[in-house]
Structure 1
Amino acid sequence: MIIENQYTEFKSSFNEAVIETLCAFVNAKGGEVYIGLDDNGNPVSNFSIGKETIQNWINEVKNKTQPSIIADIEVVIVQGKEVARLRVNEFPVKPVSFKGRYYRRINNSNHQLSAIEITNLSLQSLQLSWDSYPAHGKSLADLDIHKVNAFFERVNSMGRFMLEGSWIEKLHKLKLVQGAVITNAAWLLFAKESTGYNVHLGRLKTPSMIIDDKMLNGTLFDMVEETMRYIIGQIKVAFEIKGMPTQRTEIFEYPLPASRFERDSSQCHYP
């Protein structure tokens, strides 16, 4: 039995709502629209497919979408009656628009995309991300060379991979620099000054009562270390004394590895 879901929709006749749904499907994981069925999946009595019907549908879908959608259309039998099935796959270059609007299939409905959702979908389609784009108005002079060198020393000491050359050459190899222009990622990682992005930390007694909060600003590495220091400062610590000679062992309320934190900053692991 056919049911409506994230990948399937029923329409009693061909109209612009069908094209909207096909657009939503190609911007998600693909899907199919059955034309000639009511909401319960039963054939409607007044539906028929003429000689030119399918070609007209193909042309209308193609002309009203950008980039153009070419749907696979076939006639299938449901409960002894002919209905049309329009099938589309996920489109490789997204988003696709219908009459200037963008939709995406979420669960069993079409969701109209906002401006930021359109931008994110386009970047995902091109396998790009915001951090790979040039940092507007920033250059190599805005990077802290000491932070850059400390990062590469740490990377090389971990043995995951070795990078040779000057610090600028290394940044080029990691695609953090494009010519003389730095990427947003390089700016967030190695900026000399405040990046303008914050991490807001807080400790709550109840869902509505904040008993302590702190705003952090700096590079990503700085904020990771400061965040972990804040967390460690807020959790309880017990001490166990044992052995000869006696040794004191700290027992944290929560295991430190669960917070991806090492007490020795030289052993901090960054993604």
Structure 2
Amino acid sequence: MTAFETHNVEFKESWRDEYLKTICAFANTRGGELQIGIDDNGKSKKLADIKKLLEDVSNKIKEHLNVLAEVQIKKKATKEYLSIRVKPYEAHISYKGKCYIGSGSTTHEVNGAELHRFLLAKSGIA
């Protein structure tokens, strides 16, 4: 586990469904890891019912993104956190009909000309 966020490692104190956009962006770019239960300073926070969270998050990733993600419970010091790793995909991945990519430490929706360039690059044409 890294002690700080990078372009492909993000920390979140707790789970929110909006983080499916981040997982989508990881799949569309270089891949990455989302660590749930870690604050922005790299300190672990207590997660309630982490085993249920693991199951819920795994199901949401499968249902909404249809990507293979490695979802595991890991430990930092004495606290457990959830690690969600996703590899980059050759095909584009969408969430609720929208395509997301990561740019630096941000996730944003791709549309218009940028979406066209992205899809051409994914298909190997550009």
* 83 and 50 in structure 1: CA distance in 2 versus 1, 3 angstrom threshold: closer
> Alpha-carbon deviation of 1:97?
1.2
Pick 1 or 2: higher relative contact order, CA cutoff 8 A, min separation 6.
2
Amino acid at match of 2:97: G
Q: Secondary structure at the match of 1:72?
A: strand
Cα distance in 2 between the residues matched to 1:44 and 1:127: 42
Q: Equivalent residue for 2:31?
A: 30
Greater CA radius of gyration, 1 or 2?
1
Judge conservation of contact 1:27–1:90 (CA < 8 Å) in 2. yes
Map of 1:51-200 to 2, 5 A cutoff?
51-65=51-65, 68-94=66-92, 96-129=93-126
Amino acid at match of 2:99: Y
* C-alpha RMSD of the superposition: 1.6
Cα distance in 2 between the residues matched to 1:17 and 1:50: 18
| Number of residue pairs aligned between Structure 1 and Structure 2 | 125
> Alpha-carbon deviation of 1:64?
1.8
The answer for unaligned runs of 5 or more in structure 2 is none
Q: Secondary structure at the match of 1:125?
A: helix
Q: Equivalent residue for 1:202?
A: none
Deviations 1:92-125 (A, max 9, x none): 102x111222211111111221222222222112
Cα distance in 2 between the residues matched to 1:55 and 1:115: 36
Judge conservation of contact 2:4–2:40 (CA < 8 Å) in 1. no
Q: Equivalent residue for 1:242?
A: none
Deviations 1:55-76 (A, max 9, x none): 22111112222xx122101111
Deviations 1:205-241 (A, max 9, x none): xxxxxxxxxxxxxxxxxxxxxxxxxxxxxxxxxxxxx
The answer for unaligned runs of 5 or more in structure 1 is 130-271
> Alpha-carbon deviation of 1:18?
1.8
